[in-house]
Amino acid sequence: MGVGIDRAAYEALKLNLKETHLNNVNKKVAIVTGSSRGIGAVVAQRLASDGFAVVINYSGSAVPAEALKQQIVQAGGCGLVVQADVSDAAAVRAMFDAAEVAYGGVDVLLIFP
């Protein structure tokens, strides 16, 4: 089960992620840590414009991460927002699990502070 989420919410998220996966089977997938702002956001936007499905990671406020996802989606790309403190192994595992369920795996990992 996910970190800090109840069973019903986890199952609903899992179903939503599976639907996302079905629509994005052939895309390369990139997790970009720290991608809600700064250079991480720029890199995430570029990867999305190059055809990658992008996992937008943040650890603080979801607002900039969700705004970035909206920009990516409006430009025709795919994005998934996942909160994870990269210093917490369980949170990182949950982030990879979300990418796996949504997109079938991870092809690229880029780490930004």
Query: How many structural domains compose the chain?
Result: 1
Range of the domain at 21: 7-111
Q: What is the CATH number of the domain that holds 21?
A: 3.40.50.720
Over range 24-38, report the average pLDDT.
Answer: 87
pLDDT of the residue at 113:
82
pLDDT of the residue at 10:
63
Does this model's pTM top 0.75? My answer is: yes
Residue 42 has pLDDT above 90, yes or no: yes
pLDDT of the residue at 1:
40
Averaged confidence pLDDT in the chain = 86
Residues 6+ apart with CB under 8 A from 83: 57, 58, 59, 62, 65, 91
2, part of any domain: no
